[in-house]
Chains A and B, each alone.
Chain A
Amino acid sequence: MARDRSPAELVGAAPEDPFEISFDGRTLTALPGQSVAAALWSAGILAWRTTRHGGRARGAFCGIGQCYDCLATINDRPNRRACLVPARPGDTITTQEGHGHAGLAV
């Protein structure tokens, strides 16, 4: 059925070997060329940030780098747009709480 076909299948792509990344300590598999957001979605993960006020869940919205909703902490750096950052082997993604700079508070 059409809905079982992935974009890779539709264009007859032959991706290189998958690699591992981690999200909040959980190991996931990503394909070369996938954005972090795409890799998270592929694993069924839709939210990786909480809002500054109210702590509401957020994930990818526009998917093209405009809305800044998909911010994540990637390799300890907060406020990275998951929809634009390509996934790399060994990346560590963690849910970003609010502004992601709690460590700086005085």
Chain B
Amino acid sequence: MTARDLYVYGIVRAGHGLPPGSLGVGSPPAPVRGLPAGRLVAVVSDVPEGLRARRRDLMAHQGLLTSLAAHGAVVPMRFGTVCGGEDVLVERLAATEAHHLTCLDRVDGRVEMNLKVLPAQEDGLADLLREDPHVRRLRDEARRRPGYEANLRLGEAVTAGLERRAREAAAHLLRELSALADGTAAGPEVAGCVLNTSFLVGGSGHDRFTAAVSRLAAGHRGRVELKLTGPMPCYSFVGPEHAPVGA
């Protein structure tokens, strides 16, 4: 046991196989090892010098968790989590074992699917002009008296209109897709997105979920553009908001 800092990738159940030769953050990538702690194993490596949110290290973090998740339940840590030594980590995991086991149960056999909804641009423009008299009037004004100001007002109204249409569609999408998921979690706000939500989806239901998104994308064509990312480790379903009170 040393007091050396550890980078913590995630927590798995004891007996969860660590893919051989797993590599983590850093350059050269640090070898990854399992640190047993009761019924849990923390997946850790040394902390490389000067670790920051580099593309390479984010990829390493994500890649390792993805391969871990392929072999069983994993509680993914937020990127950049460092713990002050093995003793501290083992002790802490022992104290919170029940909570981690609950988290592992929650994500077991499930994946996170992240959906971002953005306003459509292509077909949206013509539809908006047809249905929104305010935008049409500004367009007519801009045509009659072209100029920077008129164009700015028109463009602003178009942007707002496209966003409004996207928000309406997003609310519908959220209702439909929530019914197919075991849980939902609002993601951090992302500029340009009218909705950023993650869905906890059963591994077997994942194709069905993707198919539903595809169907909804077609149904709301001209209103939204969708970005579906996943399956990925269930980051959004193990955070502090899921911790039991007093844990």
Q: Do A and B bind each other?
A: no
